[in-house]
Amino acid sequence: MRLTSLLLTLLLSLPAFAQADRLVDEHSYADPSRVRISHLELDLAVDFDQRQLAGTATLDLQWADPDARELVLDTRDLAISRVEGRSGKRKWRELEFALADADERFGNKLSIGLPRQYAQVRIHYATSPEASGLQWLAPGMTAGGKTPFMFSQSQAIHARSWVPLQDTPSVRFTYTARIRTPADVMALMSADNDPAAERDGDYRFNMPQAIPSYLMAIAAGDLVFKPISGRAGVWAEPQTVDRAVKEFEDTEKMIEVTESLYGPYRWERYDLLILPPSFPFGGMENPRLSFITPTVIAGDKSLVSLIAHELAHSWSGNLVTNATWKDMWLNEGFTSYVENRIVEALYGKERADMEFVNSRNGLLEEMKLVPAPQQVLMLPAREGSDPEEALGAVAYDKGAWFLQFLEQRFGREAFDPFLRAWFDQHAFQSATSEQFLAFLEAELMATVPGKVTREEVMAWLTEPGIPEYAPRIESPRLAAVDQARADWLGDRKAARELATAAWTTQEWVYFLEGLPPTLEAERMVELDQAFRFTGTANGELAQRWYPLSERSQYFEARPAMSLFLRKIGRRKLIMPTYEALAATDDGLAFATQIFAMARPGYHPITTASVEALLAKARAALEAAPQ
């Protein structure tokens, strides 16, 4: 069909992201437009001695292209011994396959040739001991010290390191699994975990709701269950479970609040798995079983917004998923917004506002270091890019700020039903920013006209920075922290004279982040003597205090800093301290020493991050004039 000159002009005037097909995932070798997985059946054995999962993955296929005779899958460092195909209950036929050379970021392309369009393909394989999506912990690295532990982290593209599949969020599938472990080990998955399951080393799972690959999860270790409510509870090592149940006892209330706002919880159970401290993230929203870092068990519920965040993903992300990582804000921006609404409903607007202000300030600081093209919500296609580059504050906090802007303009009486309709009408689907924009224009901007212009919306989605008309929430309690900090810095009050007795974690975070980049030694001593920051068990404070200590040459903090970096593997908490250490010759040497000791207990994702940081720092120091 020939384009008219007007239509051609309009197409050429569109930005690059609009011209590209945003359903195409440049981070996957698969081509779901020709064939896609509809169901996965796993049969795997867990070998702690070999640090390996081994067995089969059977894929049910839906063919869209009648001429297609090839199935392309994503893998990373998998040892594949045989591939078979069949239709119905016929005999399995061995198939030819080719495993391409490894790409550093995307792994190995697996191409399977088929003489006809089989309904099923079965792959016999084993994982590598260094699989990027699995961590294997020796007994000494667990809370109990007697039983080994294994867990997965599939987001963004690490599922391919333990299952051969179409590793893209645009493909959703159901799955079943049989997992065999040593008899004293309990296995769990992001599926129908039975709280009353017998620990016998042979476990079966069913996930009837279709999910994308990054939400596949597995864990095995000395795990016990305790309930919070009829549909929520905690899995953890026996030494941790009681503290976790107490800390997260509001989980059922969180579910009820979110249901009242955005519709029913559609995943049956919502349980929490408390992992060892080496878990590289705060939480991972695996359906039915959120993986949670123990670093948020603070004893005062001051960090339970993380539970609200992972729960919120049951609507935003798990239920309605970004089709590709270019639109990560559809997952994380929506979830951060919903998280804040849950916190407000349960703990009050004052706390919700403090948390929003802290997030907003963190975003503004991060954006000073982020190139302008990466400050947009609708990221352009970037061949060869690491999808985890999209996992920053822009997707989370700029995305949430944009939704808060819409809420403010339209009012909650209009915006809440709109957001619920988005979840309802796109449930168990993968979506793009363009779909959201069309839905916004049709369902809200057209029905409540004159509140927001398309130009304002596009500025949020496609332009760097934060629009000048963004809502600016202020917090009286944080304003009081500003005054206290100013009084101390201005020598009007000593640190011990500040009225901090009622401060929460949110206020302490704000206080620390507002301090100068460096302080004199005597000022650091004064702060530490008054507030005992060195050695704090609160990771949110530690991740701010130790970098300040290093920049200020307060070396008295180094022993506790070393213990912190060796005990905790959560990237958000430890990377700022490694960055501060890597800025000087002496600090880099100290960081290298700590990393050598900590590395056996770090997840591969954390290890890769620290290695890259230290290597870059060494190269910069070597290149500097002597």
Active site residues: 310, 396
Please indicate if the annotation marks 124 as binding a ligand.
Answer: no
Please indicate if the annotation marks 570 as binding a ligand.
Answer: yes
3-state DSSP: the chain helix, strand, coil percent, rounded to 5? 40, 20, 40
Inter-residue contact 566 to 598 (CB < 8 Å): yes
Closest CA to 511 of 364, 360, 358: 358
Closest CA to 290 of 217, 343, 220: 217
Residue with tokens 């260094």: 130
Inter-residue contact 111 to 100 (CB < 8 Å): yes
Please indicate if the annotation marks 282 as binding a ligand.
Answer: yes
Helices (H), 515-603: 521-531, 539-551, 558-567, 571-581, 585-598
User: The dihedral of CA 343, 347, 353, 355: what is its sign?
Assistant: negative
Please indicate if the annotation marks 280 as binding a ligand.
Answer: yes
Please indicate if the annotation marks 190 as binding a ligand.
Answer: no
What is the spatial distance between Cα 510 and Cα 225, in angstroms, rounded to a whole number? 36
Please indicate if the annotation marks 155 as binding a ligand.
Answer: yes
Please indicate if the annotation marks 201 as binding a ligand.
Answer: no
Please indicate if the annotation marks 458 as binding a ligand.
Answer: no
Please indicate if the annotation marks 571 as binding a ligand.
Answer: yes
Answer whether the bond into residue 156 is a cis peptide, omega within 30°: yes
3-state helix/strand/coil string of 434-464: HHHHHHHHHHHHCCCCCCCCHHHHHHHHHCC
Q: For residue 249, how many other CB atoms are within 10 A of its CB?
A: 15
Q: Give the CA distances from residue 179 to residues 76, 127, 220, in Å, rounded to whole numbers and listed in that order.
A: 21, 14, 10
Please indicate if the annotation marks 603 as binding a ligand.
Answer: no
Please indicate if the annotation marks 140 as binding a ligand.
Answer: no
| Binding-site annotation: residue ranges for Zn(2+) | 309, 313, 332
| Binding-site annotation: residue ranges for a peptide | 153-155, 280-285, 570-572
